[in-house]
Each structure stands twice: as structure tokens, then as C-alpha cells.
Structure 1
Amino acid sequence: MIYHLLVPFASQLTLLNVFRYITFRSIAAFTTALVISILLGPKVIAWLTRLKCGQYIHEDVKAHQCKAGTPTMGGLLIVIAICVSVLLWSDLSNENVWMTLLVFLGFGAIGMADDYLKVVQKQNKGLSARGKIVGQILIAAAAVGILMMDPDFSTKLAVPFFKNFQPDLGLFYLPFAVMVIVGASNGVNLTDGLDGLAIGPTVVAAGMFALFVYVAGHAQIARYLQVMPVSGVGEVTVFCAAMVGAGLGFLWFNAYPAQVFMGDVGSLSLGGALGFVAVVCKQELILLIVGGVFVLETLSVILQVSYFKFTGGKRIFKMAPLHHHFELKGIPESKIIIRFWILSILLAFVALSTLKLR
């Protein structure tokens, strides 16, 4: 909005040219989202408390019983902060921005419905697992399908560390991209089990993808770094920056001991947005590295369930997802959280190295 209000006058007032730059508007979006999150946080927490949106704690997780009743659905704070920031600072004529925002809101709506049934209607199971997955697949498929309708959109797959190996998936790109988006969404959701555990790696991943998106959208830099260029995608940097700001603002209240949990409305929307950003900037496999914490958490659940069924009741981990396994081994919650954050930062640097090591 601000971009469209001020840039037309840049020819008359040179100072306004600064609003043309994605970097400046990304910093502004980051700051706006951070301020909104911190200022609105207490009000949102108080409102959720009045609605009695208390978190249900599974009886098997005995160490968390003291957290029962802590307000959840705090992801609404993240959604508000990101949407306001993006609408204020983005070039709203850019289709990639709208696509990212709609995927973000679509996945958030599924999470909101699930949270509402669980914590407001007191239906502890919420939406059925099948219902959530089908909804996610439909949204992701629609978004990727629209991308693929653009004749300039490439169905080639950029493979980290290999500059000349870019297999073209053709029509198979659609199910692959859908799997990336849905997988990322559920990966963040599974990781959201300890105070600040999910939002920390999400902030790191969003920050790293802000860089990848900017590079992909800048033809000269993309050519120099031998990254697959994507016309117009640079504007999504503003969205990623807003995600970082909103995430840090939310962490202010979600850090151990948490005053509020994000709920599915936060985890599904953030994960879905990360997955779509990876698709739209053609760095789908980089998400496996940047979001390595989410991958580990997801794999731990898949392995646990598969092994349990195959062996008739035996387990690999004390409990899945992985963070609960470490909890049951006696590692303090705060230590697990910090170590997972450190791991996510290290993985981000590995992902960053792919820009030169190829």
C-alpha cells in the first residue's frame, strides 16, 4: 500500500526512491511485524484467556501437565502481523506476493478450524487427520497449478551442490511441489511441542529464504551465483522478512516458560508458507537442509509409527516426535530448545554454503 502511494511521486521527490528498493521495504516489513507482535501480544493473550482457549495436554506427556490451560491459537498474532506488514510494504501488483499470502492464509484457516474445534468447542481431536491433509493438498495443488500455468515457470529441480544437474520433472513437478508444501506445514506442526521450539527454526528458515528469494529475483546476482533466476520473485523477500519479524515478536511471549502457544493456526500457516516460498524461488531441496529440524521431527514420527506396526508394539524412541524422546531421557526442556535452535542455525549455514559450493 505504501509502495503504491509513494513511489508514483518519486520522480518529484528523490527521497521517495528508497521505497523502490526491496531491501528497504523488507527491513520496514520486518520492523513493522515485530512491533505489531510485541504491542498486540498482551491484548491477544488476554483475549484468548477470556475465550478460555486453553491448551489441551496429552496425558502421556506428564512433564507438560503444568502447561494445561495456557492460551493457544496465538498464531493469530503472527498471521495479523505478517498480513498487515506485507500489505503495507509489498508491491501488491506482484502475483507471487498474493500467491504466497493466500497459501499462508489458506493453511492458517485449516489450522484455525482445527484449533477452534479443539479448544473452543472442546472437541479434543479437532479436525480429522484426513480432513486436514485433504485441505492442505487442495490448497497446495491449486497454488502450484497456477504457478505451472505460467509458461516461464520452470519445472526443473535445482539440486544443491550441483550446478549442471537440474532434472526436469515435467508434470511430476505438481505432486512433488505439493508434497514439499504439505510436508513443510506438517513438519512445523509436529515440531511445535515445546516452548519456542518451532518458532525458532522457523525464524531462521524464513531469514535464510529471504536471502534465496532475493538472489533468485535479481537476474545479475542469480547469474553470478548460478542460481535459477525467477522473474518477479524478489518481492517475496518482503513476506519472508515480515515472517522473521512476526516470529521474533511471537517468541517474546512464547519463549520458555511460554505465555501463549501458536496452535495449528500458526504452525500450519508458517510451514505452508515456507514450503511455498521454497517452491516459488526454485529451491525446494534447500528446504530439506534449512528445515532440517522439521525433517528430523517428521522422520522420528514416521519411523516410530512404522516400527511400532511392523514389530507389533516395539518402539525406536521413548516417544515421538523426537523432542519428547529427549525429554523422557531427562534432558531439561530449555536445553532441548536451545540445542534445536543451534542445530537449525548450523543447517542454515550449510544451506548458505550451497550458493558457492557447486
Structure 2
Amino acid sequence: MRRKTRSFCFPSCRPPAGRRAALPAALLASALLLLSACGGGKDESLRVGAALYTQDDTFISAMAQDLEGLVREAESGTGEKITLFIADGKSSQSTQMDQVDRFLARGCDVLFVNLVDRTAAAVIADKAEAEGVPLVFFNRQPVAEDIQRWDRIYYVGADARESGELQGKLVLDAWRADREALDRSGDGVLQYVMLEGEPGHQDSLLRTEYSIKAVTDGGVEVEKLANETANWNRAQAAARTAQWLEEFGDGIEVIFSNNDDMALGAIDALASTPRDRWPLIVGVDATAPALEAVAAGQLYGTVHNDGRGQAQAMMDLALALWTGEDPAQAVDLKEGHYVWLPYRPVTLENLDEFLED
């Protein structure tokens, strides 16, 4: 079958006046026929609406590209048309809510939602349930009560606590390997600054807490010089780091960053004020630019967040739900609602395997 996969930045056309009636799962499985939301006739296309919190986020942008590629692979493998609509919420929950409404009006069969504001999950869940459209939250985890509102709501992501622990262990290993190089002040205390993501975001809170806990649990005394929110943003992180460099200078021994974009912002600030010694910098996500920074010796390490694996699990869920199959047969489903992907540490020592991926 000729490929007809399309990716759109939504909205792209006028929404239809009505919505298709729900079909029994058995009919979907046997005939794979859908009523078209736009044309009013039969359509073999699986329609997936993906709402992103922002495509300015390097990790989320890469996930969107992975979804597009996986849609093409799935279409080729199944012989069925798959239409993917991608919406950029531009960090506005009201914008994202409008996009979800339009996806539903358009006749999307499955929704993928990367929340701008996790407190909005209940409203989106109720909208999806009212239309009978399965909902897959990803990357930004709603509270358990919102996931459990309906048996066709799912979450695909990774355990943020684990990423914090692995990031802290990277620093702990560096301390144990060459304490003298890391402990510049010679006081036996690790002086650090922390670049945090959004206020109240569970990934930010857990990565901040458990990265430091991993270091202190390893027997290292720490001193926090400063912490600041940079909203996962490279430019904001560069500005925060520049201020800290003026205030603390070479007293900063480690820069912890809740994600790679902010870690790269710290690198930008350091590169703009040349100095003989840089603090050790660690991030999370293992984005392509971050891996380049590891290769260049600017970023000590990061924690691989398997975006492609998450995208694959989302597509597997979508196809199973569309055809009426048991989702638990398509993905490793925990507690009936969750798909968890593992994190992995990345340093120069094992960089090659991630560059190959």
C-alpha cells in the first residue's frame, strides 16, 4: 500500500460538525473500518492526535520525530493508513485544551497527551472518556487518581526518582574515582548548584531530591550554594549559571541539572567566560546535543531517557486499542495503566553505544 502517513501542526483545517459513533471492538478488529470524521464515509485510517507541551523542548521534539518515524513503520507493517496529527501547546494549557477538543471533534481514535499542566489531566480524561477515545499521557505523569478515572487511560514514561538516583551516582563515582580533582577547596565537602525544571513538576522535584540523596547516601558531605528554576530551558539556565559564576566563581564544584537542555545552558555560560577549570556538570535525557557535549568533555555525564522506547510503547498501545486487542498483550502494562521504560547512565566510557543508537 502506498504510504499516506501525514503529520500536521494543528489546527490545519476546519473541524467537522459532528463525530463518528463508537463501533464495537470486535468490528474494529475484524474489519478495521472507521467512519471518517471529516469526510463522512468509510476510512481505513487510524487517526492519532498527539498534544505536546512544547516542541521547543529538545527531548519532546525528538520524541515527536520518533513518533512520525514509527507511524511510517507501523503503516508499512500493517498495510493500513495511519494519520498522525501533532499539536504544539507552546507551554499554554488553554491552548493545549483547545487542541484536544479539536482532536476529538476531528474523529481521532487515540490521544497522546504530554501535559502542559499536570493538574489539567482530569479535565482531559473526562473529555476523552465522554467521547470513548483512549487516552495515553506521556512524559509528564498525572497523579494516580486521574489515571484511574477510566480503564482506557494510560501513562507511558520513566521513573523520575530513578533518573535522580542515577545522576547522583554519576557524581558519587566521580568523587570516589578522583576526589582531589573534584574537591577543589580541599574541605571534604562537595559544593554544588542545582538547575531545576518547572516549579512543582514531579520530575524536577524527584530528580532534585534523589540526585543529592544518592551522593549523601554514599557518605559524601554536600553544601548547596544555590538552586534556581530554569524551566527546562537552555537560555534561562545559561543566565542563572552566569549569575552563579559571578557570585561563587571557582567555588562551584558540581552543577546538577534536571535535564540536558539546562545543562547545555550551563555549558554556554562557562564557555562565554573562559576559565582554566570547569565544574563537573551532569544532566538527564541523553539528547543528541548532550551526547556531543559528553564526547567533547564538557558534560561529564547524563542519564538516558528512552524517548524512542516510549514512542514505540505509545504506538503499540494505539494499534492494540484501535484493533480491539488486549493492551497488556502489546506492552508491558503495570497496574493496568502504566508502561515504564528504564533509565541508563551515560558517560564517556559507554558513550559509543548511545551514539550508535
Indicate whether the TM-score tops 0.5.
no
The structure with more radius of gyration: 2
TM-score by length of 1: 0.23
TM-score (norm 2): 0.23
Q: Which has the higher strand share?
A: 2
Which structure has more relative contact order (CA 8 Å, sep 6+)? It is 1
